[in-house]
Amino acid sequence: MNRFFDYLQTISQVNDLSCGLGNGRKIQWLFHCGMLFSSKVKWWGDFKFRQSAHEGIDIAYYRTHPDEMHCFNDSIKVPAMDDGIILNICDDFLGQTLVVEHKNLSSSNKRLLFAYAHIIPEKSLKTGLGIKKKDVIARVCDTYKNPQLSPHLHFSCFEISKKMARENLNWTLFSNNSDIHKINPVFL
Ligand SMILES: [Zn+2]
């Protein structure tokens, strides 16, 4: 299965989002176009333009029945997409970001980093620590810093060169450095 869609299923399982649906039925994830990779529009407030193209995917909405839409809140647990290592924990404009290196499953030898953003990491996590697929690594954070936005998980994938120092792996680098190649998580 595609890695990103597998990850959506993991989020659903860890949080028991399909609870009560029965018969193995799955929830449906919902995305406004402004939540998608490289979108130039906002999915909040005035729905006008973002300051720069979106560096990842925002995950927040799902439905359990055709007329029952749900949104994440700050109790949503964030699982790890795969086994990996925590390279950095840094601030973002809503909460914190975990920068994780997951194994690259493709045949190339490129180095892939993943940013789980707008979260509150589990207290036991430290840089250098190994994590396992489906481990709960964080909770989605509340959005009191920008109440127009609903709580959501921002998920990014970056391809970097080997030589970057761990402590520099943060949003200043991801947003401004043209050597960072941003990858659409849907095509992982
Ligand atoms: Zn985002």
Give the residue-averaged pLDDT of 93-104: 92
For residue range 127-161, list pLDDT tens digits in order. Answer: 999 999 999 999 999 999 899 999 999 999 999 87
For residue range 75-88, list pLDDT tens digits in order. Answer: 999 999 999 999 99
Residue 28 has pLDDT above 80, yes or no: yes
Are 177 and 146 in contact, with CB atoms under 8 Å apart?
Answer: no
Are 88 and 100 in contact, with CB atoms under 8 Å apart?
Answer: no
CA of residue 161 to ligand 1 center, whole Å: 23
CA of residue 86 to ligand 1 center, whole Å: 20
Q: Which two tokens stand for residue 35?
A: 């939540």
CA of residue 122 to ligand 1 center, whole Å: 20
CA of residue 13 to ligand 1 center, whole Å: 22
Give the residue-averaged pLDDT of 176-181: 83
Output the pLDDT for position 160.
86
What is the average pLDDT value for the chain, to the nearest integer? 92
Q: According to CATH, what is the number of the domain 77-187?
A: 2.70.70.10
Positive or negative, the CA dihedral 11, 15, 16, 17 is negative
CA of residue 57 to ligand 1 center, whole Å: 6
User: Domain boundaries in the chain?
Assistant: 3-71, 77-187
Output the pLDDT for position 104.
67
To 5 degrees, how large is the angle CA 3–CA 9–CA 12? 145
Are 69 and 63 in contact, with CB atoms under 8 Å apart?
Answer: yes
CA of residue 40 to ligand 1 center, whole Å: 11
CA of residue 56 to ligand 1 center, whole Å: 6
CA of residue 133 to ligand 1 center, whole Å: 22
Output the pLDDT for position 107.
59
